[in-house]
């Protein structure tokens, strides 16, 4: 075997028995000799909750022993359960990608895979994917074809149809949304970030007003049994456009965050497409999925969900800067501002929606400009042609 992957070709992590700190595990997993048949350097990626090691045709995911308000990987047992859940949940949309959960073991000779020694951690083993076929990469290269998005819409529609239905009451669902909206303010309104307060207030007011005045739309989704255990983190960087198409990285660590209206996940996907400069892909995905799922009129709810998802992503970006030692600190504020602009555009769209009384079941979708409009027999004409055009321009200027 080649010794190119380390300076001396030796296992670089041989901690004493009874001690296996995270740095020792990372060092072991960075060494190509740890994998037996791998003869090339290991590529390692770190996130705030895990490490991923690309070794040959496999990827190994190690969860960090961390605890946040929304997840707890602080013990070996909890990390094992999280790995098993990740395997189970992701096999719904990527059965050929998620292969196994294996133990990392410590013996007098050091760390190893297999059956010898005490289990000191657990890893999810995946098939390594060609990065160039990830949807976000393809969007940036302008390489996405319409048929590929159609295929993704078909896959996701089938997924939502067979997903576990989650019984929900009106009171519980609306309370959850009120809590979600309230959770944005403590982060977004902090003076240290200097975000434009008028925009923040407009977004906050639009979302709260929509939840209050279009309550019937949320109740309708509950009545239709639309709430399911979804993916939880549907975005282009988690979609592999190879054969067969696969959607990876389901949000495994918090069941509550996977309990969604499919329209919400579709809208989230759309926000990410917009951010990457592909609004037409977002509109087509929304059009096809609402048609395949038979949701009926959905433009108003999609606007609300897009606005909420964009402002949530702004908040989550800023939350990185609240950590004691944030990684890549220069990245987060500009990213938050980009999401804020997307949320502001949707808030303006919501304001337009709310200028007219709700007409149940009578909202139509016009893919050309993305705006919801009433059918002709209910629509009130604008005071002038110019006023109407200016309203459209204001709502879409950040799209």
pLDDT in tens, 10-57: 444 444 334 589 999 999 999 999 998 878 899 999 998 999 999 999
pTM of the model: 0.85
Cβ neighbours of residue 389 closer than 8 Å, sequence gap 6 or more: none
pLDDT score of 389 more than 60: no
Q: Is there a contact between 27 and 44 (Cβ–Cβ < 8 Å)?
A: no
CATH of domain 135-396: 3.90.1200
CATH 3.30.200 range(s) for the chain read 22-128
Tokens coding 47: 């996130």
- pLDDT mean over 209-236: 97
> HSE (CB half, 13 Å, CA atoms) of 262?
28
pLDDT (average), residues 262-269: 98
pLDDT at residue number 39 = 81
pLDDT at residue 324 greater than cutoff 80: yes
Residue 164 to residue 144: CA distance in whole angstroms: 31
Residue 397 pLDDT exceeds 60: no
* Residue 342 pLDDT: 98
Q: Does the pLDDT at position 320 exceed 80?
A: yes
E strands along the chain, which residues? 43-46, 50-55, 58-63, 67-68, 71-72, 98-107, 110-113, 118-127, 228-229, 239-240, 246-247, 259-260, 363-365, 372-374
* pLDDT score for 105: 95
- Give how far Cα 145 sits from Cα of 64, 141, 152, 343, Å: 38, 11, 11, 27
Name 240's bridge partners: 134, 246
pLDDT over 70, % of the chain = 85
What is the average per-residue pLDDT within 125-144?
A: 97
Q: Which of 153, 124, 158, 151 is nearest to 243 (CA)?
A: 151
**pLDDT reported for residue 224:** 94
Average of pLDDT values for 245-274? 96
Helix axes 279-293, 262-275, angle to 10 degrees: 170
Residue 369 has pLDDT above 70, yes or no: no
Question: Which one, of 258, 200, 261, lies nearest residue 229 by Cα?
Answer: 258
CATH 3.90.1200 placement within the chain:
135-396
Question: What number is the average pLDDT over the span 102-112?
Answer: 93
CATH number of 22-128: 3.30.200
């Amino acid at each position: 075997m080649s010794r190119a992957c380390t300076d001396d070709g030796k296992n670089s992590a041989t901690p004493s028995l009874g001690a296996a700190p995270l740095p020792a595990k990372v060092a072991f997993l960075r060494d190509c000799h740890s994998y037996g048949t791998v003869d090339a350097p290991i590529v390692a990626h770190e996130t705030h909750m895990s490490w991923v090691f690309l070794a040959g045709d496999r990827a190994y995911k190690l969860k960090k022993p961390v605890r946040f308000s929304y997840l707890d990987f602080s013990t070996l047992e909890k990390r094992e359960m999280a790995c098993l859940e990740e395997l189970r949940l992701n096999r719904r949309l990527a059965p050929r990608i998620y292969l196994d959960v294996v133990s990392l073991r410590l013996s007098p000779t050091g760390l190893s895979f297999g059956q010898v020694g005490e289990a000191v951690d657990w890893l999810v083993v995946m098939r390594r994917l060609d990065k160039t076929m990830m949807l976000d990469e393809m969007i940036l290269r302008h390489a996405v074809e319409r048929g590929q998005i159609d295929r993704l819409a078909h896959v996701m529609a089938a997924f939502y149809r067979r997903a576990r239905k989650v019984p929900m009451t009106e009171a519980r669902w609306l309370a959850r949304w009120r809590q979600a909206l309230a959770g944005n303010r403590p982060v977004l309104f902090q003076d240290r970030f200097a975000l434009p307060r008028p925009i923040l207030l407009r977004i906050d007011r639009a979302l709260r007003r929509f939840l209050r005045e279009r309550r019937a739309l949320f109740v309708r989704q509950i009545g239709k049994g639309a709430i399911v255990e979804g993916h939880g983190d549907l975005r282009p960087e988690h979609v592999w456009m190879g054969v067969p198409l696969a959607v990876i990285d389901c949000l495994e660590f918090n069941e509550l965050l996977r309990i969604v209206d499919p329209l919400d996940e579709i809208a989230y996907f759309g926000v990410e497409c917009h951010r990457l400069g592909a609004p037409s892909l977002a509109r087509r995905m929304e059009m096809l999925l609402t048609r395949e799922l038979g949701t009926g009129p959905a433009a108003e709810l999609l606007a609300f969900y897009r606005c909420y998802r964009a402002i949530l992503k702004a908040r989550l970006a800023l939350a990185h800067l609240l950590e004691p030692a944030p990684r890549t600190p220069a990245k987060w504020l500009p990213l938050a501002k980009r999401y804020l602009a997307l949320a502001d555009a949707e808030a303006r769209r919501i304001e337009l929606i709310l200028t007219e009384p709700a007409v149940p079941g009578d909202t139509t979708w016009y893919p050309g400009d993305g705006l919801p409009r009433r059918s002709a027999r209910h629509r009130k004409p604008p005071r002038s042609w110019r006023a109407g055009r200016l309203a459209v321009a204001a709502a879409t200027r950040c799209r």
